[in-house]
Structure 1
Amino acid sequence: MTSALSDGIPPHEFRQTLGRFASGVTVITATEGQERRGMTASAFVSVSLTPPLILVSVDHRAGMHALLSREEVTRFGVSVLSAAQRPLSDHFAGRPGPEDAVPWFDHEGLPLIGGSVAQLVCRKMQAIPAGDHTLYLGLVEYTRYTDDDPLLYFRGQYHELG
């Protein structure tokens, strides 16, 4: 007997199809002891205005998954990258550049990315298993934003507005 979750289209077709959805590029951040950690993520979505909730999807194989799974990790950050921050997207996607090139800044002990279009500080509310990912639901407790243009991701490539 086949479960409903094993049905559906092949992963390659799914990836190609959803690649047609343009998204912003975010870096999810948290701390591990005194170390700052970050991960590039395009699977980020606003969930609710009241209360202010967001959701980020993290692959089980990612180091950020192991970090966010810890009970003692109660907050995480989200920085929406600007069009000028493509190297930071690569850095946090596993193609690291020099660590001193990361424009870190802290908000109440939580690392965020300086120069990004928007920053959010979230309290981890719920972890929802979903296939090979976990969906982390966060209550937004703090934000900052600018009117700069965002970095976009579409069909497997970076783009800019206009």
Structure 2
Amino acid sequence: MTQASTEGIGPEDFRATLGRFASGVTIITAREPDGTAHGMTASAFVSVSLNPPLILVSVDKRAHMHSVLLGSDVTQFGVSILAHDQIHLSNHFAGRPGPEEAVPWREQAGFPVLGGTVASVVCRKQQVLDGGDHTLFLGLITSTEYADREPLLYFGSRYGTLAP
């Protein structure tokens, strides 16, 4: 057990504790200034509000996606919620890339998202908030698609699926 501190807990305790929270796995997508689709794996995805329909993604300030999303011409981003058989995509967009041709890019409402997922949303960038070493991007959902597939879960630094 870690003692309380006015500075908060250390990064090791933070990871060890919050790694015990099971989450889904998402890929955040955006367009580079040259129009190329770019993606990043993220488990920091939260539904914020039903009315209006808002979500939030948290992006490390050191990540390339951070500079892409902060671009003045970037008004949208996408979030694809991965299915149980898409671990390879999570790894691909987390810096362990496989063949780019294996990425099932598709368009939703004219915006790049991934195919074969549990769900995907396209959002209008609504607000940008400082979150320490991360930036929080609040998005208004403008398009959504979903399928009856089993989700990919992440818990304790491992992938998993729902129990039967």
Q: TM-score, normalised by structure 1?
A: 0.95
1:108 positional shift:
3.5
Match of 2:7 in 1: 7
1:109 positional shift:
3.1
RMSD between aligned residues: 1.2
1:23 positional shift:
0.1
SS of 2:86's equivalent?
helix
1:71 positional shift:
1.3
Structure 2 spans left out of the alignment, 5+ residues: none
Letter of the 1:160 partner, please give it: T
Match of 1:97 in 2: 98
SS of 1:68's equivalent?
helix
1:6 positional shift:
7.0
SS of 1:96's equivalent?
coil
Structure 1 spans left out of the alignment, 5+ residues: none
SS of 1:84's equivalent?
coil
Partner Cα distance (1:52, 1:108) in 2: 17
Letter of the 2:107 partner, please give it: D
Partner Cα distance (1:140, 1:153) in 2: 24
Q: Within 5 A, what are the aligned runs for 1:1-162?
A: 7-32=7-32, 33-162=34-163
Aligned residues: 158
Q: TM-score, normalised by structure 2?
A: 0.94
Letter of the 2:104 partner, please give it: P
Partner Cα distance (1:118, 1:132) in 2: 28
Partner Cα distance (1:64, 1:106) in 2: 19
Partner Cα distance (1:30, 1:130) in 2: 20
SS of 2:129's equivalent?
strand
SS of 1:83's equivalent?
coil
Partner Cα distance (2:131, 2:6) in 1: 13
1:34 positional shift:
2.3
Change beyond 3 A, Cα 1:6–1:34? farther
1:106 positional shift:
1.1
Letter of the 1:79 partner, please give it: S
